[in-house]
Chains A and B, each alone.
Chain A
Amino acid sequence: MLKAAHIAKSYPTPRGELTILTDVSIELRRGEALAIMGPSGSGKSTLLYILGALEPPSRGTLSLDGIDPYSLGEREQAAFRNRHVGFVFQDHSLLPQCSVLENVLAPTLVAPPGERGATEDDSRARELLAQVGLSGRLDHRPGELSGGEKQRAAIARALIREPSLLLCDEPTGNLDRASADGVAELLLDLHVHRQTILVVVTHSAALAGRFPTRCEMSGGTLVAAPVNR
């Protein structure tokens, strides 16, 4: 269960504190999905990074399955992300020097030794890539893929460690309509199939419209999005 309570975030600037988030609280269980919308600079990505244990909040608490990642040291926090969180970014951020398969396997390299073997990782990566429709592109480099394919590879990478929380930052922002639809479909299917907690930040009303729960960032807090959006 993802539980964020009274999350606030502000940054020091020369002109005083800049508050991005004032008071955000979220509770999501396994299998639940949330789309967060809002204008640029409203703090949606910041909230996503806080949820993903990438940036500590100024105030408030966060726990995933009962663990507060911000109470952990740097190495444990990294291990927490590795084990529990999957990220998909607008810019796929694939390693250009590695093949598609290797990109998917990248998170497993720093996984604890006792968890699963390399062969199982490899099989799982191939299985995931098959699920995202890239089984024929295993040895291709990112430079040889289309935008949609890159994003699907990024989704496979995000799921390789079977995280309980999948965070997506504008996953379709750089894609054309058809590719965006494909990626959205894939995300939701995998979410349903794997029962992850899915949080998506997007500008896209079309993508948000496919989510059962939608919120909007406004004034540094999260409000329920109008149903017609």
Chain B
Amino acid sequence: MTLSRLLQRTATFHWRTNLAVVCGVAAAVSVLAGALLVGDSVRGSLREIALGRLGRTDTVVSSTGFFRDGIQDDVRGALGAAATAPLVVANGFVTHEPSGRQAGTVLVYGVDERFWRFHGLEPPGGDVFVSPPLATEIGAAEGDVLLTRLQRPSEIPVESLFGRKDEIGRTVRLTLSGVLPAGSLGEFAVSPQQAGVRALFAPLRRIQRDLGVGDQINTVLVSGGGSSAAALRPALRLEDFGVRVTVGADPPAVVVESASGIVSEALEDAVRKAGDRLQLAPIPVFTYLANTIRIGDRHIPYSLITATDLGRLRAEPASGEAVRESAAAGAGGSPPAPDTIVLNTWAARELEATPGDRVEIDYYLWDPAAGLQDRTAAFTLSTIVAMHGFAADRRLAPDYPGITDTDNLVDWDPPFPVDLSRIRPRDEQYWDDFRATPKAFIAYSRGRELWQSRYGSLTSIWFDVPAGAQPSEVRRRVEAELRALLEPRSAGITIHAARAAALESATGATDFGEYFTYFSFFLVVSALLLTVLFFRLGVEGRLRQIAILRASGYTIATIRRLLLGEALVLAVAGALVGVLGAILYGRIIVHGLTTWWVGAIGTTLLRLHVSPLSLAAGAAGGVAAAAICVAFSLRAVGRLTPRALLSAQSVDPPASADPGRARRNRLLAAGLGALGAALLSLGFLRPGAQAGAFFGAGAAFLVASLLYLSAWLRARGARPIGGRGTWAVSRLGFRGAAFRPARSVLSAALIASAAFIIVAVEAFRRGGGDLTTDPKSGTGGYVLVAQSELPLLHNPNEPAGREALLLRAPELADARFARFRVREGQDASCLNLYRPENPTIIAPEAGFIERGRFTFSASLAGSDAERANPWLLLDRPREDGTIPVVADGTSLQYVLHARVGDTLSVDVGGDEPLVLRFVGALRDSVLQGELIMSERNFLAHFPQEQGYRYFLIEKPGIDSTGEAEAFAGIVERELQPFGLDAVATTTRLEEFHRVENTYLSTFQALGGLGLLLGTVGLGTVMFRNVLERRRELALLRAVGYDVRSVSTMILAEATLLLGAGLGAGAACAAVAIAPAWLGRGGALPGSGLLLLVAAVVAAGMLSSAVAARAALRGPVLAGLRSE
């Protein structure tokens, strides 16, 4: 006989209780490892979804504009890629013609066979395909017509005067060939999202034709190779940047201009630097359209005027007609006066002008807020210049479609109103002879002052070809310099390491493993408690044997080692079973997340991923926890002498062992009660410390309650038990709880703490709330939040804007739109499981910041004004160069995992990321999905983003969510051409809250499960108590107690502990959550909570009844004989 053999014999002899121990450990390991598997599953599924949708794409090169087809070969060479594929990607919305059903946020791909071959797929037979989610949403089937509305691309910025604002959309009529399953890349997407992808695939040529972009593309998919912006640069030609360099002979000059008609600041910088390097002086040219040039009552309609270096005009040799100058021209080389104007001879003749005349010009300006504006500027005629050389160079006017490309003036079709009846035959003659040659010149500085916009203040930059140099050589050198100097990002060309970003994002915004470990906490604790209870039950059944071993010379250390060894063997066996249980638990939770709790993750694509590492970690954790608990509980065995062990029934001391304990506990309870009351008062007095104070008070009251329960159980001198019937017998049962007070209080404490947490969690449950016009509420006082696929360029708040947008519904007359610019990115709200590496950024138009809507939970406000309105922080320049942004507090904490003051580096497709700094956090707002930046910063960093696409809409007289939803329908219908999707702000908030609420439900469900398991623990305690008191119970039966009376007594005891635990936990939680609860309107807890409490009570009673029944089974005589 060896110790290990003794251990083996003992373990097998007591197999019943040991089996229970194994089950307890197995349950703990199942829950612990299962929770980790849930985390693995979410991460693994997100990775699978993202990578599956990328196909073979590693990197994406894209442009906000378009670049030449053929660039993909240059990109392949520059990046050292294995393969590339060109395509057109556009966002649009699709209308299913047969049913009229619509779907927004559709990724429209113009692809050809190169796309499919790139992914190693055979091109599908047919032309037009949609993804399964899109097909399901609109109910599309093969042969159906899909009207796909896309934004019409424009090289000329649509928010400039010459941009076409009324034709920004284009509807493409496509006939569906079929639905492309996800496995055939039907849900192709380069940006990860867990929800199904709405995608439409159409022939590349068709999309190019309908968008009018020739054979240009806007995206190149890259497989393999590098992904740095620097590596991309050699692949780009100047035409890819939209830059044109021309050279002319008279005068010999190199002209740099942009396809957009206006030279951006970035291009201007590059050109000036190129000029410096080549020692060429740049000549600025800014040509603009004047509606009228007028002297007195004489006028010329629709003429181009060039702002430039007027000295350049003087340098022109005048031949034929003399150049007449006035003093204002700055004779003698002095700079001209700011209001100087120079007319060409044709214009001077038409206006009968002489130097010194006052010349007025009328022109349009486009203001994003106010729309088209009429302006007039006055000048003094200084010079009349001959129409030769520079002054007569047609290249001074950029190409404006609808203007410069027409044969006749009356054929003009500009994107702004013109009165063609004003055009005279003489004007037509000028057009025939000189086309768009400017008729007047002003100083560049004055022109910039009048006409500059966020797109730039030049239409071209000229370099004179130095004497003796070859113009073509100068042009070549300028081109070479520009290619080296231009940043791809400045032209909207970005390179994005899509695969790396997807893998990074797939780590998830939320660690579900961590969450479910928290959620399963009570389940694990309950399982461990059961393990300890069962193990102790086994040990207590063997106290006499232990006494005999000790009497035989075994040291207490040896006995502990034996028992711990036995426990470890059982724990390992339990862990092995638990590993299988973990897979089952993980499967159940994953099933729950894709069904009951789908609101938390928003996808049904979650699959179980079994990681051996997680299983091992869970098993090790479970074994360690069980071993620690058992070792801790075995300490009590060592405290008993061998003689005591011989007669002991339990290792727990009876109440009589420490008579002073009741008094001490009562004193402690009183102290903690006083502390709780003090914290409560503090909470009322200092609202800022309310949450902490109330929670602290609740916790103090909870411990005080349990101490009081302990004192009460140990108390003497209570009113004697007497009387008749159930109540009297129940009172005897209550007294039974005092049999082993420590054990009873422990049971009640477990239930109390679980109840405390579960009830407290209920306070964090959020509702959508009633619609409110309170500007400080989470809705900002707005009734609708809306987003459009196509930008709105006209202001719906102005009559002219409404007219231009064709808004006819009278309901919109008093609606106010707060407009935001949008840079599309990833959803930063809790609706997105992926970590948003590149969140959507929105920027409010002027006026929003000053109104100071919404409430901030935290900010970096440094002044009283900023504290009063933290939105002002968005406009405060930061010394460190970071860009201030505001985020919703919930998104910041749980999705972006950042705090106010932290920074976020956003990859904007260049070499350097854009560093954003969180300067404020909104409290529970509708703006959870986006970061908010000032419009000024937005326009500086995202100049390619056009117009407004995000709206917060207010309307007087709407009082309910139902009314708001009805109004949303009207707004959507009116702005249907823009693909506007509007929703009540309360509904949007509810969507966010649903995620939080689902998490809370999950926590409560798993916590409740733990609580139920805890009630089994209570049953076990009851069983143990009843066993120990079997003789007394038998005696009661001997003196006339029937089985029902004895059961009543036992159940009364269980009810007391259960009621005390639940009552203390719930009541103290109610104190703790009172401020939050009242803050949410004091709504009654959901029926789920009440059901949970009812289930716990029922389970507790049931397990106690089972315990009582088991203990009372058999004849009374056996109990009396203690057999």
Contacts of B729 in A (CB 8 A): 109-110
Among A74, A94, A97: residue with most chain B CB under 10 A: A97
**Which of these, B655, B720, B1032, B1037, contacts A78 with CB under 8 Å?**
B1037
Q: Which residues of B contact A95 (CB under 8 A)?
A: 732, 735, 1032
- Cα–Cα, bound, A110→B739 (Å): 21
Does residue A200 face the partner (Cβ distance < 8 Å to B)? no
Nearest CB on A from B1024, distance (A): 15
Cβ < 8 Å to A, chain B residues 683-738: 716-717, 720-725, 728-729, 732, 735-736, 738
User: From residue B728, how far is it (CB to closest CB) to chain A in Å?
Assistant: 4
Is B1116 an interface residue, CB under 8 A from the partner? yes
- Flag if A97 contacts B1031 (CB, 8 Å): no
Residue of A whose beta carbon sits closest to that of B1036: A106
CB distance from B206 to the nearest CB of A (A): 88
Rounded to whole angstroms, the CA-CA distance of A110 and B127 in the bound complex is 88
Determine whether the beta carbon of A93 is less than 8 Å from that of B717: no
CB-contact partner of A87 in B738, B739, B1039, under 8 A: B1039
Q: Please, which residue of chain B has its CB at the minimum distance from the CB of A49?
A: B1117
Q: Report the contact-size class of chain B (Cβ under 8 Å from the partner).
A: 35 or more
CB-CB < 8 A to A191: which residues of B? none
Q: Which of A86, A93, A110, A158 contacts B1041 (CB 8 A)?
A: A110
**Chain A residues numbered 57-75 whose CB sits less than 8 Å from any CB in chain B:** 74-75
Residues in B with CB closer than 8 Å to A192 are none
**Interface residues of B, dominant DSSP:** helix
**Is there contact, CB below 8 Å, between A54 and B1038?**
yes
A52–B1040 alpha-carbon span in the complex (Å): 11
Shortest distance from the beta carbon of B690 to any chain A beta carbon, whole Å = 43
Determine whether the beta carbon of A105 is less than 8 Å from that of B1041.
Answer: no
Q: Across the interface, do B724 and A106 meet the contact criterion of CB distance under 8 Å? A: no
Asked if B724 and A97 sit within 8 Å, CB to CB, the answer is no
A89 proximity list for chain B (CB < 8 A) = 1035, 1120
CB proximity of B1112 to chain A, nearest CB, Å: 11
Decide if B1115 is an interface residue (CB 8 Å cutoff).
Answer: yes
| Residue of B655, B729, B738, B1117 with most partner-chain A CB within 10 A | B1117
Interface residues of B in 1021-1048 (CB under 8 A from A): 1031-1032, 1034-1045
Contact between A98 and B1040 (Cβ–Cβ < 8 Å)? no
B654 within 8 A of A: yes
Closest Cβ of chain A: how far from B324's Cβ, in Å?
Answer: 122
CB-defined contacts of A94 to chain B, threshold 8 Å: 1032
CA–CA, A81 and B722, complex, Å: 19
- Tell whether A83 is near chain B: CB-to-CB under 8 Å: yes
Residues of B within 8 A of A157 (CB): 1039
Q: Which of A101, A143, A144 contacts B720 (CB 8 A)?
A: A101
- Please tell me the size bucket of the interface on A: 35 or more
Look across to chain B and name the residue whose beta carbon is closest to the beta carbon of A84: B1040
Task: Across the interface, name the chain B residue whose C-beta is closest to A119.
Answer: B722
Q: Is the CB of B1039 within 8 A of A98?
A: no
Contact between B1120 and A105 (Cβ–Cβ < 8 Å)? no
Q: CA A54 – CA B729 in complex, angstroms? A: 21
B656 beta carbon closer than 8 Å to chain A: yes
CB distance from B353 to the nearest CB of A (A): 117
> Given B716, B725, B1031, B1035, which contacts A139 in the complex, CB threshold below 8 Å?
B716
Q: Smallest Cβ distance from B110 to chain A, in angstroms?
A: 84
List of B residues within 8 angstroms of A93 by Cβ: 1031-1032, 1034-1035, 1120
Given contacts A74-B1043, A78-B1040, A110-B1042, contact A55 B717 (CB under 8 A): no
Q: Of A77, A96, A121, which is within 8 A of B656 by CB?
A: A96
Nearest residue, chain A, Cβ from B741 = A97
- Is residue A32 contacting chain B, with contact meaning CB distance below 8 A? no
B656 pairs with A98, CB closer than 8 A: no
Q: Are A106 and B1039 in contact (CB under 8 A)?
A: yes
Known A91-B1031, A109-B729; contact A118-B1040, beta-carbon cutoff 8 A: no
B738 / chain A contacts, CB cutoff of 8 Å: 97
CA distance A203 to B147 in the complex (A): 106
Closest to B1122 in A: A91
Q: Which residue of A lies closest to B1053 (CB)?
A: A97
Contact of B1120 among A49, A102, A110, A161 (CB under 8 A): A49
Q: Could you tell me if A108 and B1038 are in contact, using CB atoms closer than 8 angstroms?
A: no
State whether the Cβ of A99 lies closer than 8 Å to any Cβ in chain B: yes
User: How far is B906's CA from A70's CA once the two chains are assembled, in angstroms?
Assistant: 88
| B1117, A54: Cβ atoms closer than 8 Å | yes
The 0/1 profile, CB within 8 Å of B marked 1, for residues 25-58 of chain A is 0000000000000000000000001001011000
Please tell me if the beta carbons of B1116 and A54 are within 8 angstroms of each other in the complex.
Answer: yes
**B655 / chain A contacts, CB cutoff of 8 Å:** 97
How far does the alpha carbon of A75 sit from the alpha carbon of B1041 in the complex, in Å?
8
A74→B1042 contact, CB < 8 A: yes
Q: How far, in Å, is B589 (CB) from chain A's closest CB?
A: 43
For the complex, give the distance between the alpha carbons of A96 and B738 in Å: 9
Partner of B735, one of A101, A102, A113: A102
- Asked if residues A52 and B654 are in contact (CB atoms below 8 Å), the reply is no
Could you say which residues of chain B place their CB within 8 Å of the CB of A52?
A: 1038
- Shortest C-beta distance, A88 to chain B (Å), equals 10
Establish whether residues A109 and B1115, one from each chain, have CB atoms under 8 Å apart when the complex forms: no
The minimal Cβ–Cβ distance linking A159 to chain B, given in whole angstroms, is 11
A141 at the interface (CB under 8 A from B): yes
Give bound CA distance, A83 to B1042, whole Å: 13
Task: Say whether, besides A98-B721, A161-B1040, A78 and B1045 are in contact (CB < 8 Å).
Answer: yes
B residues in contact with A224, CB < 8 Å: none
Would you give the shortest CB distance from A140 to chain B, in whole angstroms? 9
Bitwise, B1055-1066 to A at CB < 8 A (1) or not (0) is 000000000000
User: A143 with B1039: in contact, given A75-B1044, A98-B732, A109-B723 (CB under 8 Å)?
Assistant: no
A139 and B721 CA atoms in complex are apart in Å by: 11
Give residues of chain B (33-89) contacting chain A, Cβ–Cβ below 8 Å: none
Given contact pairs A81-B1038, A94-B1032, A112-B724, a sample of 10 additional A-B residue pairs in the complex whose CB atoms are under 8 Å apart: A55-B1117, A80-B1040, A91-B1031, A95-B1032, A96-B1032, A102-B735, A106-B721, A106-B1036, A108-B724, A110-B1040
Q: Which B residues have a C-beta under 8 Å from some C-beta of A?
A: 654-656, 716-717, 720-725, 728-729, 732, 735-736, 738-739, 1031-1032, 1034-1045, 1115-1117, 1120
Provide a sorted-by-A list of 17 A–B residue pairs whose CB atoms are within 8 angstroms. A52-B1038, A74-B1042, A78-B1041, A81-B1039, A87-B1038, A89-B1120, A91-B1031, A93-B1031, A95-B732, A96-B1032, A97-B735, A98-B732, A98-B735, A105-B722, A110-B1040, A110-B1041, A141-B656
The 8 lowest CB-CB distance pairs between A and B, nearest first, are A82-B1040, A78-B1042, A93-B1035, A109-B728, A107-B1039, A143-B656, A118-B723, A97-B738
